[in-house]
Amino acid sequence: MQHNSDVLFSVDGAMATITLNRPARHNALTTGMLDDIERYVASVERNPEVRALKFVSTSPRFFCSGADINEWGDIDAQQMGTRFIRDGNRVFRRIAELDKPTIAVLAGSALGGGFELALACDFRYASVDARIGFPEAAVGAIPGWMGCARLAELVGATRTRELILLGEPVAASTAAQWGIVNEALASDELAARVDAVCATLQKRSRASLSVGKRLLRMMESGQHDYAHELAASVCKASPDAAEGVAAFRAKRHATFD
């Protein structure tokens, strides 16, 4: 395990984990933490054995409370846009564009920048005790790390306006009903559900996971027809496709290297 006091990183077989470890500050994100997260995501990108990445927290109450107001509160408007926001957007974009599935495990509340971190992931599983939302309007701010755009793509304008303009977080069960999280589960069921998802992902074709994520990004840009043609061709050229066809014909489970 590689770590500093605020962010931990580990790899167990095909599963990588980034752990937010600043419970005294409810995992409020600093630029130093963002730098560490980016470095660990880059490590996952370079490791061909890793099939998926999950984000977890050591705090019993918070996945992440957002960007550390003590860090951004006193900087000027120029630095806010060109440094703090730009750095966060770069890191979260790297998470969103990782060619491996990502999972945010919301055992505690995800607010502000913490919610934006979760939105940059492919899957979000939450404890029913968690609250999720953007409270920035209460402190004269706005979600700056692409949270408005990612949330609107996920649930549409109506719910996005409700969360951003009212600034009132919602219960995880409500977030699940709205399609913001995949599931809201009892606290003692959350870990087992995430483990089952991770186990499934580790059995899947590396080529399918990688190309599938790139296909989804191309679809978001509007290149639907061309994207599907290219993705299908790339997958068909991979050894995984040959193994999948052979396994189907032999009536056995496919085994992907």
List, for residues 60-118, the tens digit of each pLDDT value: 899 999 888 776 566 666 666 566 778 889 999 999 999 999 999 999 999 999 999 99
CATH architecture of structural domain 2-202: Alpha-Beta Complex (3.90)
Instruction: Name the more confident of 177 and 210.
Output: 177
Span 22-41, average pLDDT:
94
Query: Comparing 30-44, 104-118, 233-247, which segment has the lowest mean pLDDT?
Result: 233-247
CA distances from 67 to 14, 57, 72, 122, 147 (A): 30, 15, 8, 21, 13
Kindly indicate the confidence band of residue 215, based on its pLDDT and cuts at 50, 70 and 90: confident
Model pTM score: 0.86
Res 241: pLDDT: 66
Paired sense of beta strands 62-64 and 15-20, if any? unpaired
Q: Over 90: is that where the pLDDT of 212 sits? A: no
Q: What pLDDT is attached to residue 81?
A: 59
At 251, list the tokens. 């009536």
Q: Is the pLDDT of residue 21 over 80?
A: yes
Identify the bridge partners of residue 109 per DSSP, sorted by sequence position.
62
Q: What average pLDDT is seen over the chain?
A: 88
Q: Which sequence spans correspond to the domains of the chain?
A: 2-202, 205-249
Which residue matches tokens 């502000």? 112
Sign of CA dihedral 144, 215, 158, 104: negative
236 pLDDT more than 80: no
pLDDT confidence of residue 82: 63
Position 43 pLDDT exceeds 80: yes
Higher pLDDT: 174 or 232? It is 174
Please give the Cα distance from 103 to 110 (Å, whole number). Answer: 14
Residues 6+ apart with CB under 8 A from 107: 56, 57, 60, 63, 126, 127, 130, 187, 190
Strand order in the sheet with 109-111: 62-64, 109-111, 131-133, 170-171
pLDDT for residue 230: 61
Residue that wins the pLDDT comparison between 228 and 90: 90
Whole-angstrom distance, CA of residue 146 vs CA of residue 86: 10
**Cβ atoms 112, 71 nearer than 8 A:** no
Cα separation, 257 vs 255, in Å, equals 7
Judged against a pLDDT cut of 70, whether residue 229 lies above it is answered with no
Region 9-35: mean pLDDT is 95
Residue 140 predicted with pLDDT over 70: yes
Across residues 207-235, what is the average pLDDT?
A: 71
